[in-house]
Structure 1
Amino acid sequence: MSRLLIVALVALFALPAYGADEKKADEQKTFYAIGQVMARQLAVFDMSKDEIDQVLKGVKDGVESKTPNFDVEPYKAKIQNLALSRRNAQGEKLAAKTKEFVEKAAKEKDAVKTPSGLLYKSLKEGTGASPTATDKVKVNYRGTLVDGKEFDSSYTSGRPVEFGLNQVIKCWTEGLQKMKVGGKAQLICPPDLAYGERGSGLIPANATLVFEVELLDIVK
């Protein structure tokens, strides 16, 4: 986590309540947005309220250059291991919900399960062309775990993304070829079509992923 983000978060707590001044209100919203970005980075730790309080105390003390009452250095090496263990623990909790979620989704109207295991459901039919596996596409998307927790979204970042369909997870390579430009679909991706046993970022190992994808264009 960069020092700039830490300073910004601490500044957020020091700001007064929103006032009538438009510029000040906009600055406060900017700092709040920084806090939201940081929260997404910390989501992998799945923290309790007491743990969040400790993080905020550490941030505040660090920015104010207060000397900790213990040696912090040995604990820096533990951060990645803690992140991995918390992420995997989330995966184990999700496993119990996944079967029920997938079975229910498969029974929904217009849901189609392909031989690979992908569950595809059109939410809005497009009218343009369909991409091939080697095309580059432009999309908006939102990705969640089966408990509804969002792990990635182009809507949150505020801009669509472009990528080659042969450069992404198998679920996307297969699912987007079923779409037409202008369409929107839900893709439910089993682990072997997503990130499998390794997981990725906020995504636990062996996680089933749920995407809502808008196919905006095929990039020539």
Structure 2
Amino acid sequence: MKKSLLVGVFAATALMTGCNKQQDVKVTAENDKVFYSVGYMFGQRMKDLKLSDAELMAMTQGLKDAARGTKEQVDLKVYQPKIREEFQKRVEAHSQGVKVEGEKFLEKFVSSEGATKTASGLAYKIIKAGDGAKPKATDTVKVHYHGTLIDGTVFDSSVDRGKEVSFPLNRVIKGWTEGLQLVGKGGKIKLVIPSGLAYGDHGAPPKIPGGATLVFEVELFDIQAGEAHSPDDGHGHGHGK
């Protein structure tokens, strides 16, 4: 998300979602549903901030005042620089608890399933070694993958979509780049990827929370040497950068 959009995106959420105790709105008109959808999608990005009702109401009032052309109640030059700092602080605070649970899950995966933990913190278990060459980071791989959170919630799956995916191995999250180089063509691997090798404190809203440890099962079908152009599928959190 670009910096210039930060204030508008976050401020838009509160009014559109109608999330305060004073006035919850039941959306019925077709045009209202359009704007409700805008608010809901933005609101999903704010879930981890744990905003209070008072904070949501203040945000709502700010959006109303701006949309109606009413003079602002605060000096924006003073408070605009504080926005990123406050949001960053809350995102990091939320992600810490998520990270702790992820670390416990990863260590249990290593101890109870005989998985291996690498120096980077990635944990993996070879389900099927494969009998072909292993890919290099600069190669393009063709795979099927199934991605879940540690509670089993599926956030993305080419298996469920029924379509294999090809992408450059050096243009994905670090856990994928490292992990796929450990299995041969025709093989299958299970990866448990800590947030530092995935999407970090910010996650990939709305499906992946900040600090989340990710679980993937990946089957490697083919390897194409050298740099590829672009993924043939826009889906897949294996494609995150």
TM-score (norm 2): 0.55
Q: Give deviations 1:21-70, integer Å, cap 9, x for gaps.
A: xxx49x83x54443343124334634233323322332233222232322
Aligned partner (choices 105, 114, 118) of residue 115 of structure 1: 118
Aligned partner (choices 85, 106, 109) of residue 105 of structure 1: 109
> Superposition pairs for residues 1-220 of structure 1, below 5 Å?
1=5, 10=15, 16-17=27-28, 24=30, 28=33, 31-43=35-47, 45-94=49-98, 96-109=100-113, 112-116=115-119, 117-120=121-124, 131-137=135-141, 163-177=167-181, 178=183, 185-189=190-194, 191=196, 193-194=197-198, 199=200, 201-202=202-203, 207=211, 209-212=213-216
- RMSD after superposition: 4.9
Any unmatched runs of 5+ in structure 1? 19-23
Aligned position for 1:21: none
Pairwise CA distance, 1:79:
0.7
Percent identical: 26
Per the alignment, do residues 55 and 173 of structure 1 end up closer, same or farther by CA in structure 2, a change over 3 Å counting? same
CA–CA separation in structure 2 for the residues paired with 1:96 and 1:12 = 31
Whether contact under 8 Å (1:9, 1:31) holds in the other structure is no
3-state DSSP of counterpart to 1:77: helix
Per the alignment, do residues 53 and 147 of structure 1 end up closer, same or farther by CA in structure 2, a change over 3 Å counting? farther
Whether contact under 8 Å (1:125, 1:180) holds in the other structure is no
3-state DSSP of counterpart to 2:115: strand
3-state DSSP of counterpart to 2:85: helix
Whether contact under 8 Å (1:7, 1:63) holds in the other structure is no
CA–CA separation in structure 1 for the residues paired with 2:60 and 2:28 = 19
Whether contact under 8 Å (1:190, 1:209) holds in the other structure is yes
Per the alignment, do residues 51 and 142 of structure 1 end up closer, same or farther by CA in structure 2, a change over 3 Å counting? farther
3-state DSSP of counterpart to 2:74: coil
Of 159-168 and 2-11, deviating more is: 2-11
Per the alignment, do residues 200 and 88 of structure 1 end up closer, same or farther by CA in structure 2, a change over 3 Å counting? closer
Whether contact under 8 Å (2:17, 2:43) holds in the other structure is no
Any unmatched runs of 5+ in structure 2? 19-24, 205-209, 225-241
Pairwise CA distance, 1:83:
1.8
Per the alignment, do residues 125 and 12 of structure 1 end up closer, same or farther by CA in structure 2, a change over 3 Å counting? farther
